[in-house]
Amino acid sequence: MLPPAIPPRPIHIVDHQMHRRSVRARSFADDVGEEDPCTRWQWSAWMALWFLCRLLSFHVANALLGIATFVSVITGLVATLVLLPICCAGVVVFRAVLRTVFVACCADASLHNVVASRHEAIQFPDDPSGLWSYPGERQPLLPVDHSFLADERPRFEASLARSSPRSVVAVFYFGSLKPLLAVASAASLGLLAASVVALVGPNSELSGQQLATALLGAALAGVALHVVARVTQATTRFFCCQSEA
């Protein structure tokens, strides 16, 4: 036997519940609107400080990653050319270079997400080195998950895990462009450090012109940190993510 049907709620009860929800929503909005301006300022200051810490950490890690991968890639390519005539040992070395580049791509994409907004964060598959499978993606024989297809965030290119044209392009990226971005990050950090030392260092008694120069250097360093970070993120998405086409 079928269970008895649940009778619908009376209209006046539904209207009363909706009215109570709207009253609670308005009261919450009033509380947010009447928040102490000092509290909002403190929250904004903490958020700005947190973003500054992430930005500085991004540039430090970007400089180290760029230099380390450049040395590894150049050394691997030279070893490949030298060992290629010796029983094709260079092929084995080149496969090791491709694997190193794949790990570097994963690190570069993770570094990208440190300062990326939520809608710009790179998605990683469940197993980048295995079958193509993202969280929320269904099996090929099941209906398509429309929420997964509607997600416009960049997706990590899983073909970097094996010998493919994209992995060879990534070798070029870490052997040429990435070290330039690493130098730009290091230069921005150096300019900021020099300006801060000139302003608050032990010998910080500056004349008017020197003070203006130090402040201008700090301002230029702040702009350079943001510009270099955005250029680095765009380069990472181009070389380490799926094409949007």
pLDDT at 207: 72
CA dihedral 26, 27, 30, 35 (to 10 degrees): -140
Q: Using one digit for the tens of pLDDT, what is the confidence trace for 98-152? A: 999 999 999 999 999 999 988 889 988 765 454 444 444 444 444 444 444 556 7
pLDDT at position 76 is 94
How far apart are the C-alpha atoms of 123 and 150, rounded to whole Å? 13
pLDDT for 64 beyond 90: yes
Model confidence, pTM: 0.72
d(C-alpha 77, C-alpha 45), whole Å = 47
Q: Considering the chain, what is the average pLDDT of its residues?
A: 79
pLDDT given at position 245 = 52
Residue 37 — pLDDT band, cuts 50, 70, 90?
low
pLDDT at 127: 54
Any idea which of 56-60, 128-132, 184-188 has the lowest mean pLDDT? 128-132
CB-CB contact of 243 with 210 (8 Å): no
CB 114 within 8 A of CB 59: no
Q: Is the pLDDT of residue 172 over 50?
A: yes
Q: What are the two backbone dihedrals, phi and then psi, of residue 155, each rounded to the nearest 5 degrees?
A: -115, 135
First to last CA, the chain: 55
Is residue 93 over pLDDT 80?
yes
In this prediction, residue 226 has a pLDDT band, given cuts at 50, 70 and 90, of very high
Q: Which of 60-64, 88-92, 143-147, 157-161 has the lowest mean pLDDT?
A: 143-147
Residue 203 has pLDDT above 60, yes or no: yes
Q: Which residue has the higher pLDDT, 118 or 8?
A: 118
When mean pLDDT is compared across 50-64, 121-135, 169-183, the lowest value belongs to 121-135
90, 82 in Cβ contact below 8 A? Answer: yes
CB 221 within 8 A of CB 191: yes
pLDDT band at 244 (very low <50, low <70, confident <90, very high): low
